[in-house]
């Protein structure tokens, strides 16, 4: 009898040890861009607040990208768990994954600009006829915005037999091409829009929709199901950082700039960062209306074959 009790005790001890071990050495892989529109990610990374909130048993891996489609491919491959991303790649991810990618939070609204070279003769969207316009990556949110603007002004990209040459150029390379006259205009997120305007004397072209959602947060549903406590902790930290940014913009800008310098090798000029920050509304709310409008636009442009169902956003 005593041997049986001892054996049962040992089994329970081994099982409990296994349970404790399963909670150790967890990992959360977070994708973000080196853009001011991903401000919360930059601040969390610079302050290491997410690591502190997660605790010593969780490893936080920050993965830097330059555009949304590449993030989505990494999520499909199981290499990323949570991502700061534009609404359009988020929509495509939900559709292509049959619902395995979900939007769980908002992050930033606004912070996108259409800038034209100072000698290009472009003062409105209609003047893009016959011009070369850059976006950061084909299929991303800025690309969709540009296609929508062209459609509204009875223009089409050259890939569809139209007169506007749309090219994908990484954000850091756009400035040099614009200066050399190899580009006429660019539709880019902050801080690149303010960099072009302030440091290249580029002309800001007005257009509708500049205040729409720019950044949301997505998660792999299997990661959410397997690690709900990690996702909840991440969102709690995201909310806290967002509120701190609203309360103390100067501290937020300092942290963002320090992290951008580490990531890119150079800090942003204070006047550029001030301009970029002023054009963005940071938020932790899911931008339901803006996402619906983007989805309708994707459908009208033939980028998706059906609208996402109501389950594609998920409150945690």
Sorting pLDDT into bands at 50, 70 and 90, what band is 305? confident
Closest CA to 43 of 274, 263, 254: 254
- Average of per-residue pLDDT across 138-144: 87
pLDDT at 73: 94
47 burial type by CB count under 10 A (0-12 exposed, 13-18 middle, 19+ buried): middle
pLDDT at 77: 95
Phi, psi (deg, nearest 5) at residue 215: -135, 135
Instruction: Please list the residues that pair with 282 across neighbouring strands.
Output: 108
pLDDT at 314: 65
pLDDT at 14: 45
pLDDT at 40 over 90: yes
Phi, psi (deg, nearest 5) at residue 162: -90, -165
pLDDT at 18 over 60: no
| Of 316 and 49, the one with more pLDDT | 49
pLDDT at 303: 83
The two beta strands, 26-32 and 58-64, are: parallel
DSSP string computed for 84-105: EE-HHHHHHHHHHTTT-EEEEE
pLDDT at 123 over 50: yes
pLDDT at 20: 33
E strand or H helix that includes residue 62: strand 58-64
How far apart CA 285 and CA 35 sit, in angstroms, is: 20
Please give the sequence-ordered ranges of beta strands (E in DSSP) within 97-179, or none if there are none. Answer: 101-110, 112-116, 132-135, 165-168
Sorting pLDDT into bands at 50, 70 and 90, what band is 8? low
Look-up of token digits 């099982």: 15
Q: What is the topology classification, in CATH, of domain 112-205?
A: D-Maltodextrin-Binding Protein; domain 2 (3.40.190)
First to last CA, the chain: 48
pLDDT at 3: 52
Angle CA 283–286–287, to nearest 5: 85
- Average of per-residue pLDDT across 228-237: 97
Domain map of the chain by residue range? Answer: 24-111+212-312, 112-205
Sorting pLDDT into bands at 50, 70 and 90, what band is 137? confident
Q: What is the mean pLDDT of the chain?
A: 90
CB 23, CB 57: distance < 8 Å: yes
Q: What is the topology classification, in CATH, of domain 24-111+212-312?
A: D-Maltodextrin-Binding Protein; domain 2 (3.40.190)
pLDDT at 16 over 50: no
Which of 20-29, 261-270, 287-296 bottoms out in mean pLDDT, i.e. has the lowest?
A: 20-29
Look-up of token digits 């909130």: 53
- Average of per-residue pLDDT across 119-136: 96
pLDDT digits (tens, 9 = 90+) for 179-206: 999 999 999 989 999 999 999 999 999 9
| Of 99 and 238, the one with more pLDDT | 238
- Average of per-residue pLDDT across 59-79: 93
pLDDT digits (tens, 9 = 90+) for 144-176: 899 999 999 999 999 999 999 999 999 889 999
Coil vs helix vs strand at 306:
coil
CB 252, CB 43: distance < 8 Å: yes
Percent over 90 (pLDDT), the chain:
75
pLDDT at 255 over 70: yes
């Amino acid at each position: 009898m005593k041997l049986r009790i001892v054996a049962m005790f040992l089994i329970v001890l081994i099982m409990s040890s296994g349970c404790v071990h399963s909670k150790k050495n967890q990992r959360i892989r977070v994708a973000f861009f080196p853009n001011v529109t991903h401000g919360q990610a930059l601040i969390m990374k610079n302050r290491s607040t997410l690591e502190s909130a997660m605790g010593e048993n969780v490893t936080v891996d920050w993965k830097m990208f330059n555009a949304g489609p590449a993030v989505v491919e990494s999520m499909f491959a199981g290499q990323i768990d949570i991502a700061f991303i534009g609404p359009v790649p988020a929509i495509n991810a939900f559709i292509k994954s049959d619902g395995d990618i979900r939007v769980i939070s908002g992050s930033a609204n606004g912070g996108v600009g259409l800038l034209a070279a100072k000698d290009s003769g472009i003062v409105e969207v209609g003047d893009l006829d016959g011009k070369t316009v850059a976006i950061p990556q084909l299929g991303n949110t800025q690309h969709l915005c540009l296609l929508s603007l062209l459609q509204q002004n009875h223009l089409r990209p050259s890939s569809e037999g139209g007169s506007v040459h749309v090219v994908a150029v990484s954000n850091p390379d756009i400035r040099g091409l614009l200066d050399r006259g190899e580009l006429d205009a660019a539709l880019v997120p902050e801080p690149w829009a303010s960099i072009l305007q302030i440091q290249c004397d580029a002309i800001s072209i007005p257009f509708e929709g500049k205040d729409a959602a720019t950044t949301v947060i997505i998660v792999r549903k299997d990661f959410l199901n397997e690690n709900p406590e990690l996702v909840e902790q991440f969102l709690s930290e995201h909310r806290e950082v967002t509120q701190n940014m609203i309360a103390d913009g100067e501290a937020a800008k300092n942290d963002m700039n320090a992290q951008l310098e580490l990531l890119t090798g150079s800090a942003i000029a204070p006047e550029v960062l001030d301009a970029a920050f002023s054009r963005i509304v940071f938020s932790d709310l899911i931008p339901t209306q803006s996402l619906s409008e983007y989805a309708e636009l994707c459908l009208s442009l033939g980028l998706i074959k059906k609208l996402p169902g109501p389950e594609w956003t998920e409150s945690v």
